[in-house]
Structure 1
Amino acid sequence: MKRNIQKLAQQEYDLLIVGGGINGAVCAWDATLRGLKVALLERGDFGGATSSNSAKIAHSGVRYLQHADFKRMRESISERATLMQIAPHLIDVQPYLLPIYGHGIKGLETMTLYFAIYDLLSKDKRRVKDSARCIPNCQILSKQEVLEMWSSLDPDNLTGGAIWYEGQIHNTERLLLSYLLSASERGTEIANYVEVVEFIQSDNVVVGVEAKDLISGQTIKVRAKTVLNACGPWIVKTLNLSREQFKDYDLHASKAFSFITRPLTNDHAVVFPIKPMYRDPQAIVNKKSSLAFAIPWRGYSLVGSLHLPCEDDPERVSISEEEIQTYIDLINEGYPEGKLRREDVHHVLWGIIPGDREGSAAPMKHYRILDHAKEDGLEGLVSVVGVKYTTSRDVAQKTIDLVFRKLGQVSPLPSTKNTPLWGGEIEYLDLFMNQAIEQESDQLSPEVVRNLVRKYGSAYQEILGYLDENPAWGVVLPNSDVIQAEIIHGIREEMAEKLVDVVFRRTDLGSAGYPGDEPLRVCAQLMAGELGWNEADTEAELRNVVDSYIIRPKTEMVCQP
């Protein structure tokens, strides 16, 4: 996957996608598999905006039962099973423990029925070929069983508990890249750091875009029969690049964030109540609290998510220290056993996501696919607003169905549901892992191999191929599980143009918090050698990494030459 700006300007595409978040990436993969000639432009880095906020759950929509929204729950269950099949190396099975109190509408008898219905509607969970990775049925626990698992829990009025299971995504950034790498291998032209500045129109038809390469400063024109706007909360801002007057789509934004903290739980994710930040008028059950999760994740806990109103320009929004403390207080009210302190929070995952309505913190519940010929009288332009990582493949399939109708072509049958992603050619993960560890035992430790397989799957040997060029690239960066070859691969094959790209989205180096000065400097020096940075460039890249953290490192050594 390499940037080729000149090639983008020299061809006409069936479909040009604007936006390289999860929805744009999956649309590119689906359209390419169906035989369309596709290009994708992203003004920043892939997955660097809305898609950077994720609780990293391939979720089943178990909470949708409270809305009697069986359709949305069935979609989520099916798509969870699909993800576990097409990207098995990136997703684990994670149990969740829910304490149950009393005997009312949220009591043991009602929740027993609730989870029985959920199991009945969850036939897809058995679709995974690897039986070791099938999602088990839910379990209803006695009060004593719950207290044995969660000894510090308040026993007053506790009547039992439930365990259900979700898919836990090891690395959402690698999942998004896997879609892009898959599409690129099939011929999609992809470029990051290319900003669309204007739609090219012929009367009432969009025929392409004018775009600026933010790396070189060059301006190009990219022509396409159909343009897909996949810019998330920036969808309206992108539409305004046209000369047309668009209708009010009532699209708003919500600010969402989660914490990476010291471990707050052991094997099970724990579920606890927090004060709701918005009212859900569609819920059948009148909720006086929302549910939050503390999830085991790569040796930490991932706690989330909190949603807050956001009516500011997304370009200027951040997470304040006051908002961090507010969430800590909410967590401690609902989960006092965790005793979370400010210094326990290592990293904040956040993003601006589509909101449900103006002035509300509520996230949008349902995706939207907009045909602007019908909505606004402008041909050649489609927009998609997705709401969940888990269901992005299903939304993309419906979006590309519309693109084929716009093109006047008969669509081949979609095949993304059954086609492994880049790195996903693995039938039995445990067997594959053990074979990889044994095969590489002469040069790498089991832990290094295990981490490579968890990130790159069946393609892990592509990373090890760099060791033939320079054996030193097999060295692990200090205080991390990242080998230097991963950085080289990210630059040469995954369009890593900036240090933040490698630290946050090509490797695991900084995804759980500030990794430390020494590994950052090693990483920066490798990138400088590959990309020709001088000393001033390198120091600027290091400062940019520090500035990208909501929770900044205490030391300033990283910025010293």
Structure 2
Amino acid sequence: MNCSDNDIANGHRQDELQQIYDLLVIGGGVNGTGIAMDAAGRGLTVALCEMEDLGGATSSNSSKLIHGGLRYLEHYQFGLVKKALAEREILLTNAPHIMWPLRFILPHRPHLRPAWMIRIGLFLYDNLAKRETLRPSRGVEFDQNSPLKSEIRKGFIYSDVWVDDARLVVLCALAAQEHGAKILTRTQVTKAQRIDGLWSITLTDVITGETRCVKAKGLVNAAGPWASRLFDDAFSIKAPKEIRLVKGSHIVVPRMCMGEEAFILQNEDERIVFVIPYEQQFSLIGTTDVEYAGNPRDAKISAEEVEYLISVVNAHFKKQITVDDVVWTFSGVRPLMDDEVADAKKASRDYSFEIDSVAGQAPLLSVFGGKLTTYRKLAEAATNAMCEYFPGSGDAWTQTAKLPGADFIDPQELFSSLALEFPWLPSSLLTRYVRSYGTRVKNFLAGTQSMTDLGQHFGSELYQIEVDYLIKHEWVVELDDLIWRRTKLGLLLSHDEKQNLAHYLQSQLKR
């Protein structure tokens, strides 16, 4: 049975069968949603397919940083660092509700790297790209009040940016949708073939198993860790490049210290480990670099990785931690370009893309590699390349585009104005709303006059009005979508509260 026959057998309307998109994007991570947003904003008709939840794999399992990559300078990746540094300022302006400046303390350990080398690296970090918002680096001295061990007396401090990575993906998808893109989650591309100058694509609903067919003039493979595998599974074409899968794992522990700064710790194996203030009460510690084989969705932290991260932290901090302090872990598989470097930590974090286009045939663009910080730049370059096949498309536009909810000047001013409008909201809840939704919080708070109007309380200041909004407008289907990606309330909700919330989700989605 061919694609069209399947559609007719499953009862799809004929007008659905005749839908022809300019681009169909495979992959709902930050690169896929970024490309969908950019292309839709240039006037192309776009559909995006994600086989699970938006940002459900690599894009939500990062260190939550928009950064140039200070350690990449040691591997002479100056072009990547310059590109990433320039993007920090752009992204800060475009989404100030979900990202903000973060100061990093780098303790100096002379036996690992001499001070002069670090100073040169930080000078380059400050000056490789234009810096308007972020403060420059400087040296620091630690006294008896420092959380670091007493033998660590000096160090450096510099700037990077924190980001809610999973919400960044959702905001890109929302922006794409507002420009006309169709966002299809829990939808897998199971076959794609060129027929009569178009891509004929079989989509399978991973929940129901139902299939249907759409057509597209161009196809974008932004499947991240699955990008190479997709060639065998769906395209029946040899992959032009293989990607290298490297697992990065993190642990979350109760807050290590109460300052607002993060720490970047040097280790004897030449790797670095971040200790980042996280969700007010916790510290996020990571990451590792471990070669990985298998399904990226099955990636889990190993006991060895946990011990590694704990040992690096304990070598630096007065406060010692153990396995019993770990309240949550997560692992993501990074799809790195296979540049045949033996050591995973030296593998390039840059990106490339390949276009498969035979004269008269519909093009296929595949993305390989990349990092969170350069997603917008990657999306712009990929969309530029695909727009060569669409002469009427618009110009690049995302550099100055505010992401949904970012139409305000200053987060504190937004908080103050919302506090006046909704004076009965607890400050802690309003703070989370501003940092998650920006001005979009009014989409579900409009008309409310008291806490009672927020509906059922599920625990940890999660109310029915927000849950309903996330189901209706942000593609929430499963519990993890809500408590780990749209929010991080999984850290605070009890087992019973999570079960109650899961039952509520099921009841709403059955309607």
TM-score by length of 1: 0.81
Aligned partner of 1:155 among 151, 162, 167:
151
Q: Secondary structure of the equivalent of 2:344?
A: coil
Distance change >3 Å, CA 410–CA 73, structure 1 → 2: farther
Q: 2:211 aligns with which of 219, 227, 236?
A: 219
Whether contact under 8 Å (2:231, 2:237) holds in the other structure is no
Residue 151 of structure 2 aligns to which amino acid in structure 1? P
Kept in 1, the 8 Å contact 2:112–2:268? The answer is no
Distance 1:315 1:94, change over 3 A: closer
Contact 1:256-1:306 within 8 A present in 2 as well = yes
Structure 1 position 427 matched with structure 2 position 421: no
- Whole-Å Cα distance in 1 between the matches of residues 296 and 414 of structure 2? 43
Q: CA deviation at 1:29?
A: 0.6
Amino acid at match of 2:249: F
2:435 aligned to which of 443, 447, 454: 454
**For the residues of structure 2 that align with 1:243 and 1:175, how far apart are their CA atoms?**
29
Cα 1:149–1:395 shift into 2, 3 Å: farther
- What does 1:301-450 correspond to in 2, within 5 Å? 301-332=283-314, 334-357=315-338, 361-362=344-345, 363-373=347-357, 379-405=362-388, 407-409=389-391, 411-441=393-423, 443-450=424-431
Deviation at 1:216, TM superposition (A): 3.1
CA distance change for structure 1 residues 107 and 349 in 2, over 3 Å: closer, same or farther?
A: same
Per-residue CA shift, 1:409-447, capped at 9, x if unaligned?
A: 254321111010111111122111111112100x32222
> Partner amino acid for 2:289?
H
Counterpart of 1:517, as a letter, is H
Aligned to 1:71: 79
Q: CA deviation at 1:295?
A: 0.9
Counterpart residue type for residue 328 of structure 1: I
What residue is the counterpart of 2:142 in the other structure?
146
Preserved contact between residue 354 and residue 364 of structure 1 (Cα < 8 Å): no
> Alpha-carbon deviations, 1:204-231, whole Å to 9, x = none?
x661310111233321111100010111
Equivalence for 2:123: 116
The Cα shift of 1:470 comes to 10
Aligned residues: 494
Distance 1:492 1:312 in 2: 34
Deviation at 1:317, TM superposition (A): 3.7
**Is contact 2:138–2:156 with CA below 8 Å preserved after alignment?**
yes
The residue type equivalent to 2:256 in the other structure is: L
The C-alpha deviation readout for 1:311-362, integer Å capped at 9, x for no partner, is 2343544333344334333443x43534121111111121111145477534
Distance in structure 1 (CA, Å) of the matches to 2:308 and 2:122: 32
Q: Once the two structures are superposed, what CA deviation does each residue of 1:237-283 show, in whole Å capped at 9, x if it has no partner? A: 2111346441551322111111111111332212222343xxxxxxx
Task: Specify the alignment match of 2:507 in structure 1.
Answer: 529
Deviates more, 1:517-526 or 1:177-186: 517-526
SS in 2 for 1:488: helix
**Any stretches of 5+ residues in structure 2 without a counterpart?**
1-11
TM-score, normalised with respect to structure 2: 0.89
Return the offset for 1:93. 1.5
Within 5 Å, give how 1:16-95 maps onto structure 2. Answer: 16-95=24-103
Structure 1 CA distance for aligned equivalents of residues 313 and 50 of structure 2: 36
Q: Secondary structure at the match of 1:78?
A: helix
Aligned to 2:251: 259
Matched-pair contact (CA < 8 Å) for 2:243–2:335: yes
Q: Does 1:239 align with 2:239?
A: no
Matched-pair contact (CA < 8 Å) for 1:482–1:507? no
Question: Partners of 2:447 and 2:327 in 1: how far apart?
Answer: 32
Q: What CA distance in whole angstroms lies between the structure 2 residues aligned with 1:489 and 1:206? A: 37
| CA spacing shift, 1:8–1:445, aligned 2, 3 Å | farther
Say whether the 8 Å CA contact 1:256–1:308 is kept in structure 2. Answer: yes
Compute the displacement of 1:477 (Å).
3.1
Residues 368 and 113 of structure 1: CA distance in aligned 2, closer, same or farther (over 3 Å): closer
C-alpha deviation, 1:383, in angstroms: 0.5
1:179 and 2:160 aligned: no
SS in 1 for 2:469: helix
Does structure 1 retain, via aligned residues, the 8 Å contact 2:350–2:371?
Answer: no
Deviates more, 1:12-21 or 1:52-61: 52-61
CA deviations 1:371-395 (Å, max 9, x no partner) are 1227x99742111124211110000
**Consecutive unaligned residues in structure 1, runs of 5 or more:** 127-133, 277-288, 534-561
Q: State the shift of 1:181 in Å.
A: 0.6
Once residues 497 and 33 of structure 1 are traced to their aligned partners in structure 2, the CA distance between those partners, rounded to angstroms, is 27
Aligned residue for 1:391, secondary structure, equals: helix
Identify if the C-alpha distance between structure 1 residues 515 and 527 changes in structure 2 by more than 3 Å, giving closer, same or farther.
Answer: same
How far apart are the structure 1 equivalents of 2:494 and 2:230? 37
* C-alpha distance in 1 between matches for 2:161 and 2:61: 17
Matched to 1:23, the amino acid is N
Report % sequence identity: 27
Deviations 1:60-116 (A, max 9, x none): 3333332343321221112111111111111121111112244x9932333333323
CA RMSD between the two structures: 2.7
